[in-house]
Structure 1
Amino acid sequence: MVTVAREGVYYKNGQFVPGRSDPAGAAEERKGTMAYAILSAHNTSGDMDRLKLKFDAMASHDITYVGIIQTARASGLRAFPIPYVLTNCHNSLCAVGGTINEDDHLFGLSAAKKYGGEFVPAHQAVIHSYMRERYAAPGKMILGSDSHTRYGAYGTMAIGEGGPELARQLLQKTYDLAYPPVIAVHLTGAPRPGVGPQDVALALVGATFKDGIVKNAVLEFFGPGVASLSMDYRSGIDVMTTETACLSSVWSTDEVTKAHLKTLGRGKEFQAQAPAEGAYYDALVEIRLDEVEPMIALPFHPSNAFTIKEFKANLDDLLHQVDEDTRRQLELTRPVPSLREKIVDGDFVADQGVIAGCSGGTYQNLLRAAELLKGRSTGSGAFWLSCYPGSMPIMQELTRKGCISDLMAAGASVRSCFCGPCFGAGDVPANGAFSIRHSTRNFPNREGSKPGDGQVSYVALMDARSIAATALNGGVLTGADELPEELLVPDRADEPYRYDDSAYKARVYYGVGRPLPDEELKFGPNIADWPQQIPLPENLLLTCCAAIYDPVTTTDELIPSGETSSYRSNPIKLSQFALSRKDPQYVPRAQAIQAEEEKRRRGEPTDALMGREAVSTGLGSFIMALKPGDGSAREQAASCQRVLGGCANLAAEYATKRYRSNVMNWGMLPFIAEDVKDWNLQPGDRLYIPGIKALLEGDGEEISATLIQNGTEKPVTLWLPGMTREERDIVLAGCLINYYAK
């Protein structure tokens, strides 16, 4: 199904030949990859080892664009220098917190007018469906403030990052990184009927994530299997590459790509794209599409993937493991019902199905579901199904073909274009319920439950075809390949599709390149400026306010998604939710240290300094996590710490580049200590770091510090590997806003 070779390879005559043991020796052959061609076309540094990229377009949704524009505005923004699309697909339900969601939407529209942007009103499209339809094309680069910014199926290299990186582009700065590894993903064969893109994606994520094989790399998809896949199918695989922890992705282009762009009215943007003969890759992933089976990713990560057959054959053991993971990961102090209670007469029974968003809500996915459900019923039991088309053009075509009516008649609920089920703001299941979803993530709390209040529910990821098959069986978990063959319609690469963008023409504000400087920004009462941050002092005395020993810590755990998203336009209010589902005492601990730092700055005495010199030694807090930052690109996972007086993260390693960048852009130090797990850090422990300012003013990466723990002191070594000169200057200034203001 999926095999991985970690060694470098050359692609020659349609075959892979083992490469050099020293990849640096393959510098010339690296130029043969599609990624190299795109990166070199967007690099402004003149040095391909140290990239400084400028993008063709950007996109943000209504959880992120207010903070990005406020950051750029504080740093001198006058107009959007490139197309910037503001969609409204996350805080679309204007119920949480009163008027504040719609206040943000009005701010977004006023900003699109003032600075010259594109504004997509709520319920018109989810961010990635819109960008595929309107902007993605071969050879382009797009930056988005959402981790699932992936348009590789169109030949576009797209990257999801935290908001400060988008603010940098708005200020005509660059996106800086070392040249990434490029890994070949070679596709052969063709999927069997009933096997969908989520099945292929979960097989890929399951084979690569846990070992970090493709972390921060570019995945380059090509091979004879690509031709068998429609653009929807390719996009459904591609968007899930985020869950492998890769940096970006890109696919070869062909007649299917060309025809689809023509359907979208952008046929002139097509260009052929494929690896050159002899191209060198840092590793190889091979996917045999004809061997892929219907898959399920059990809680609490897309990499926790099994074939549905394997799951059903080992129900008791696998569900026992999920029970154990639930108690451990959610740190529950009260018992919760075992998922093994959902085994009825040897079958596993789910409570809810959802097909939604940028991964599930494509035309072809919903068409297949409608075909399976047409003339049948999902039943009147506890199981229920909801479907969210990804855009109004998709909704219009499904309506024209009668598919929306077929879904409704079968008992499915059809909703508007909304990302809520992916991050805990829509279709929240009952306590103890199990939801199967064709969406992007099944992290803890992503379904909207609140373990701290005794509410726990679960999400497993599946493909739309198997979700529809399960709905046909009233919730009894069923792989689509278990249905009679005559019910399964093969997925065609040339699936007929008529694109009608009349809804966009009626509602979208198209202002790219036409700023209106006299337009006033509309501020709601929840929209607030970032609190002022001070430059880095000469020395730091930091207090540990949270210590997390999970193998991986997601950004959802650092700042929860769901209803908290409505407060992301107010940094201080949002910060009160930091780590609220992981360590509820983090906020008061951090606030206590922050209060002592404020006393120090006012010249008042404070015992928190432990006798250190008050003028030169700043007080702050830090979080220790073994591997923080998996998942979302949201910068608030870092900025909330900073708002509460955070000065550093301490980790064995960082899960993603984007989270580490967020830490630095918000003025915090991304410390590494490989043996940090052995330190047994606990809240209240302290780190005294003399000379930290001098270290950053130079180019050192290692600093000696003192760990103050249980009344004793011992020397430790901290590392800051790979910080660029600009990243050092940002932390020295106190945050990105200060750096640009300076």
Structure 2
Amino acid sequence: MAVTASTPIELVNAAYARFDERIDAARTRLGHPLTLAEKILIAHLADPDAEIERGGTYNDLNPDRVAMQDATAQMALLQFVTAGLPQVAVPSTVHCDHLIQAKENAHVDLLAAEETNAEVYDFLESVSAKYGLGFWKPGAGIIHQVVLENYAFPGGMMIGTDSHTPNAGGLGMVAIGVGGADAVDVMTGFPFNVRWPRLIGVHLTGELNGWASPKDIILKVADILTVKGGTGAIVEYFGPGAASISATGKGTICNMGAEIGATTSLFGYDDAMARYLKATGREAIADAANAVAHHLRSDDEVLANPADHFDEVVEIDLSTLQPHINGPFTPDLAREVGELGAEARENGWPLEVSSALVGSCTNSSYEDITRAASILRHAAENGLRVKTELMITPGSEQVRATIERDGLLETFEAAGATVLANACGPCIGQWNRTAVSEGEKNTIVNSYNRNFPKRNDGISTTHAFVTSPETTVALALAGTLDFNPLTDTLTNDQGEEITLAVPVGEELPARGFDPGEAGFIAPPENA
């Protein structure tokens, strides 16, 4: 099958055919209705009649595809080469996103990375061409955002050599982060072996409003389950509240499931996923998913009585959920944003925000950026300016080109923000930060996913707090942690007290996505 910049409809149809063949038989054999996670795993079993026991049996699975980022792909591809095969056995891609260091701005940093890492990039591109892998150039975007935009599909299964691979669960895919050796097994035609996971259900009711965002859902889940609560389990989100969340918002939630130790996370197929598939040029996949939509969500009996079918059920009312901010030093130390100031003073955490960062694979969707930009526009109109360093990291070239076309980058730049490369950057520690030194206690806020000591800047005394893009921008305008955007005011140069407007976002761009500069290189047809 040809390797392209998207998942071929033939692959999707083949996956859906297995649902028709296997799901009814599995219900009869197992004697109970099935969750979505169970359906997808069963459809990808190497042996559909294999014994299954949650948390007990180890089972072989055949993923639909493999994705690798440039740091982990190096050793994985070296190992694959030793197998002596002419090409990879399943569709596979390499994404150059981890080796670009944030220092000056997108243009300068990308040029520096291309020069510094030229040997690595040449190796990855040449091996991809020789063995039939798709290659995404430096600057094309972060692996998880690119996968969501191009490769993820409802009911599919993939493995990726990065812990935040579950981002693809925003499109109803079982996407599992693995080590390079597991990826090599699948690329050489062997199955992926894993212990059959436990199942945690998160029942969402109500609807997000005001300053609350999808990020606040996973921050609340991290508070409830802690960093170990999801270990050995798939977290499945369902309920009427799930339907109100955009596909990219669902991706944010699934992405950060890695912070609770989950094998992966996912949502059932719905209209939001169909809208996103169509907006990203995948109408045929949306049509195919619509035809088998009954397979792409948990059975009705599961949804009616979740406690009987999940090992644990978490209840969250989105209508009452408030903006959260988690940290420092661990992503499960949670509280509502309005409670942070008092807690920071009590613990001696620096109140002054030394840097605010928006973006990453977790929160760089069009919806995220429009909500954050709406706050900055309102602030500018009312004489307010950011009081700390502000940086924005677009998740992909498609997102960057679209927000530039629609004037959103201009809004950030007018506020004094630095636009970084379409890469991981400070989220994974690729931040050449010179304004702060080791031993200097300081506070940063960001819309990233992980915040253990040294994670973002290599400085153990940096106190990193994780929150939504809109709350990050609000705290950048305030310059301090003891600010609650829901109730507090900011003083402009004229001495006027200004209440920040509630953020307003757009789920998808009204004018469609702008693909920007092409970043994909397909292998030669005869590879």
Considering the TM-score relative to the shorter chain, is it more than 0.5?
yes
Alignment of 1:177-576 (within 5 A): 177-210=194-227, 212-270=228-286, 271=289, 272=293, 273-279=296-302, 280-317=309-346, 319-320=347-348, 339=349, 342=350, 348-374=351-377, 376=380, 379=385, 383-426=388-431, 428=433, 430-431=436-437, 432-451=441-460, 456-475=461-480, 477-482=482-487, 487-491=501-505, 496=510, 498-504=512-518, 507-511=519-523, 514=525, 516=527
CA contact (8 A) 2:360 2:423 kept: yes
1:260–1:96 CA distance, 2 compared to 1 (3 A): closer
Q: What is the Cα deviation at residue 485 of structure 1?
A: 7.1
Look up the equivalent residue of 1:446 and give its one-letter code.
R
Q: What is the Cα deviation at residue 75 of structure 1?
A: 2.8
Alpha-carbon separation, structure 1, partners of 2:246 and 2:255: 14
1:153–1:182 CA distance, 2 compared to 1 (3 A): same
Q: What is the Cα deviation at residue 305 of structure 1?
A: 1.4
Alpha-carbon separation, structure 2, partners of 1:120 and 1:413: 24
Which of 52, 66, 85 is matched with 1:58 structurally? 66
1:80–1:441 CA distance, 2 compared to 1 (3 A): same
- Residue 68 of structure 1 is matched in structure 2 by 76
1:515–1:302 CA distance, 2 compared to 1 (3 A): farther
- Residue 158 of structure 1 is matched in structure 2 by 175
Q: What is the Cα deviation at residue 97 of structure 1?
A: 10
Query: Is it true that 1:91 corresponds to 2:103 in the alignment?
Result: no
Q: What is the Cα deviation at residue 215 of structure 1?
A: 1.3
Look up the equivalent residue of 2:95 and give its one-letter code.
T
Look up the equivalent residue of 1:315 and give its one-letter code.
A
For residues 521-573 of structure 1, give each alpha carbon's deviation from its aligned partner in whole angstroms, at most 9, with x where no partner exists: xxxxxxxxxxxxxxxxxxxxxxxxxxxxxxxxxxxxxxxxxxxxxxxxxxxxx
Q: What is the Cα deviation at residue 474 of structure 1?
A: 3.5
Q: What is the Cα deviation at residue 360 of structure 1?
A: 2.0
Look up the equivalent residue of 1:299 and give its one-letter code.
P
CA contact (8 A) 2:254 2:264 kept: no
CA contact (8 A) 1:378 1:474 kept: no
CA contact (8 A) 1:91 1:101 kept: yes
Q: What is the Cα deviation at residue 48 of structure 1?
A: 4.5
1:497–1:80 CA distance, 2 compared to 1 (3 A): farther
- Residue 37 of structure 2 is matched in structure 1 by 35
1:459–1:302 CA distance, 2 compared to 1 (3 A): same
Alpha-carbon separation, structure 2, partners of 1:262 and 1:387: 27
1:497–1:355 CA distance, 2 compared to 1 (3 A): farther
CA contact (8 A) 2:340 2:482 kept: no
Computing the radius of gyration from Cα coordinates, the structure with the larger value is 1
CA contact (8 A) 2:325 2:336 kept: yes
Q: CA RMSD in A?
A: 2.4
CA contact (8 A) 2:67 2:94 kept: yes
Q: What is the Cα deviation at residue 39 of structure 1?
A: 0.6
CA contact (8 A) 2:99 2:113 kept: no
Alpha-carbon separation, structure 1, partners of 2:198 and 2:354: 42
Alpha-carbon separation, structure 1, partners of 2:121 and 2:354: 34
Look up the equivalent residue of 1:511 and give its one-letter code.
P
Where 1:64 maps in the other structure, the secondary structure is helix
Q: What is the Cα deviation at residue 407 of structure 1?
A: 0.7
- Residue 128 of structure 2 is matched in structure 1 by 112
Alpha-carbon separation, structure 1, partners of 2:509 and 2:116: 41
Alpha-carbon separation, structure 1, partners of 2:36 and 2:499: 39
CA contact (8 A) 2:145 2:395 kept: yes
Greater CA deviation, 37-46 or 473-482?
473-482
TM-score, normalised via structure 2 length: 0.81
CA contact (8 A) 1:85 1:118 kept: yes
Q: What is the Cα deviation at residue 499 of structure 1?
A: 1.8
- Residue 187 of structure 2 is matched in structure 1 by 170
For residues 699-722 of structure 1, give each alpha carbon's deviation from its aligned partner in whole angstroms, at most 9, with x where no partner exists: xxxxxxxxxxxxxxxxxxxxxxxx
- Residue 3 of structure 1 is matched in structure 2 by none
Look up the equivalent residue of 1:430 and give its one-letter code.
V
Where 2:315 maps in the other structure, the secondary structure is strand
Q: What is the Cα deviation at residue 99 of structure 1?
A: 5.7
Look up the equivalent residue of 1:117 and give its one-letter code.
L
Alpha-carbon separation, structure 1, partners of 2:506 and 2:411: 21
CA contact (8 A) 1:356 1:421 kept: no
CA contact (8 A) 1:353 1:435 kept: yes
Look up the equivalent residue of 2:225 and give its one-letter code.
T
TM-score, normalised via structure 1 length: 0.58
Q: What is the Cα deviation at residue 421 of structure 1?
A: 1.0
Q: What is the Cα deviation at residue 268 of structure 1?
A: 1.9
For residues 125-164 of structure 1, give each alpha carbon's deviation from its aligned partner in whole angstroms, at most 9, with x where no partner exists: 1110000000111110011000000111101110001111
Look up the equivalent residue of 1:373 and give its one-letter code.
L
Look up the equivalent residue of 1:249 and give its one-letter code.
S
CA contact (8 A) 1:68 1:167 kept: yes
Where 1:503 maps in the other structure, the secondary structure is coil
Where 2:31 maps in the other structure, the secondary structure is helix
Q: What is the Cα deviation at residue 410 of structure 1?
A: 1.0
CA contact (8 A) 1:236 1:359 kept: yes
Alpha-carbon separation, structure 1, partners of 2:511 and 2:73: 32
- Residue 18 of structure 2 is matched in structure 1 by none
Where 1:207 maps in the other structure, the secondary structure is helix
1:305–1:72 CA distance, 2 compared to 1 (3 A): same
For residues 668-715 of structure 1, give each alpha carbon's deviation from its aligned partner in whole angstroms, at most 9, with x where no partner exists: xxxxxxxxxxxxxxxxxxxxxxxxxxxxxxxxxxxxxxxxxxxxxxxx
CA contact (8 A) 1:357 1:389 kept: yes
Q: What is the Cα deviation at residue 480 of structure 1?
A: 3.7
Q: What is the Cα deviation at residue 515 of structure 1?
A: 5.1
Where 2:242 maps in the other structure, the secondary structure is helix
Alpha-carbon separation, structure 2, partners of 1:387 and 1:296: 18
Greater CA deviation, 47-56 or 147-156?
47-56
Q: What is the Cα deviation at residue 315 of structure 1?
A: 2.8
Look up the equivalent residue of 1:464 and give its one-letter code.
P
Q: What is the Cα deviation at residue 509 of structure 1?
A: 0.2
CA contact (8 A) 1:378 1:410 kept: no
Alpha-carbon separation, structure 1, partners of 2:65 and 2:186: 10
1:399–1:97 CA distance, 2 compared to 1 (3 A): closer
Q: Where do 5+ consecutive residues of structure 2 fail to align?
A: 1-28, 53-57, 102-109, 303-308, 489-497
1:281–1:499 CA distance, 2 compared to 1 (3 A): same
Where 1:360 maps in the other structure, the secondary structure is coil
Q: What is the Cα deviation at residue 364 of structure 1?
A: 1.3
1:380–1:283 CA distance, 2 compared to 1 (3 A): closer
Where 2:362 maps in the other structure, the secondary structure is helix
CA contact (8 A) 1:230 1:495 kept: no
CA contact (8 A) 1:238 1:249 kept: yes
Alpha-carbon separation, structure 2, partners of 1:493 and 1:363: 7
Alpha-carbon separation, structure 2, partners of 1:508 and 1:402: 25
Where 1:176 maps in the other structure, the secondary structure is strand
